[in-house]
Amino acid sequence: MSIRIEDLSVDRVRTLIRKGEWTGPTVELARGFAQAGLAIVPERYALSFFTFCQRNPKPCSVLDVTEIGDPTPKLLAPRADVRTDLPKYRVFSHGKLVAEPTDIRSYWRDDSVAFLLGCSLTFETTLVTAGVPIRHLEEGKEPPIYVTNVPCTRAGPFGGPLVVSMRPIPHDMATKAVQITSRYPYTHGAPVHIGDPALIGIRDLGRPDFGQAVAVRPTDVPMFWACTVTPQAVAVEAKLELLITHAPNHMFITDRRHEDFTVA
C-alpha cells in the first residue's frame, strides 16, 4: 500500500520539501492548512515594504514577519525555516530574475526579513466547501490573473497597479461568494470588483497577464479578488539589490488551519 503525499501531515510534507524530495506545486498538499506567499527583502527596505502592505491590505495581507536575520516564521510555523521549506523560490537582483533554486540558504543574509503573505487557497477551499464552483479548478488550470489600472497606495520605493485574480461565479451564488470571502480579511477578503472588467482597466478576460483564461458562461458574474502577485510585482519593480519570493504555486505550508483566519 503506497502513501500519497496529499495525505501526509504538515510536518511530513515540510520534511520532504526541506530535503528537496518534493519540488512541485503545493496546492494539493496538507489539505485544510493555510498556505502563504513569500517576499524576502533586506532590512533597509523592510519598513517601507511592511508599510506598503499595511496600505494595501487586500492584495498584501501580512500573516507573519520574521525577525531580522532569523528565518523562523514564529506565528505560522515556529518549527519551520523559510530558507528550505518552500519547494521552489525565485531570486531577483536589481529587478532581474537570476535564479530559481529549491533552497535559499546561500542567498539568506544577516539582514534578511521575510514576509509571509495570505494566499487565495484559503478562501477557495471554503468556496468549494460551500458549493461555489471554481472554474479554474474544474478546468485543471491556474487562475487567470490581470494587471488593473487601479493604483496601489505607494510606500517608499514600492508602488504599482493592483493585480487581481478572476473567478466567474454563477449569478445566483455571487452574494454567497462575497459573504464567504468577507470572513477572510487576512487572505484577500471580499472581492475588489464585481462585473464589467473594463471598469478596472481589463480589456480582454480571454488574455490574462498571468495564469490561464477560463470560460465565463452567460449566467456567470466575473468577480475579482486582490492577488498576492501585487506585492511581488511591486517588489520586483522597486529593483532592490536582493529580493527572494516563492515560485508561482510553490507556497509555504503553514501550521494554521484555514479557519484560523476567519473573523466571524
Q: Cell numbers 537582483 label which residue?
A: 93
Interface with a second copy, residue 51, by CB under 8 A: yes
Pick the closer one to a second copy by CB: 9 or 153. Answer: 153
Nearest to 124 by CA among 171, 184, 173, 38: 184
Which ranges of the chain would DSSP assign to H, the alpha helix? 10-18, 43-55, 121-129, 135-138, 174-182, 229-237
Q: Dihedrals φ, ψ of 14, to 5°?
A: -65, -35
Q: How far is the CB of 229 from a second copy (least distance, A)?
A: 21
Q: How far is the CB of 1 from a second copy (least distance, A)?
A: 42
Interface with a second copy, residue 182, by CB under 8 A: yes
Q: How far is the CB of 139 from a second copy (least distance, A)?
A: 29
Note whether 180 and 68 are within 8 A (CB): no
Among 31, 74, 141, 171, binds a second copy (CB under 8 A): 74
Find the distance separating the first CA and the last CA of the chain, reported in whole Å.
41
Let me know the angle formed at the C-alpha of 129 by 170 and 208, rounded to the nearest 5 degrees.
50
Among 71, 87, 160, 189, binds a second copy (CB under 8 A): 189
Interface with a second copy, residue 86, by CB under 8 A: no
Residues in touch with a second copy (CB under 8 A): 43, 46-47, 50-51, 54-55, 62, 64-65, 67-68, 74-75, 113, 153, 155-156, 179, 182-183, 185, 189-190, 263-264
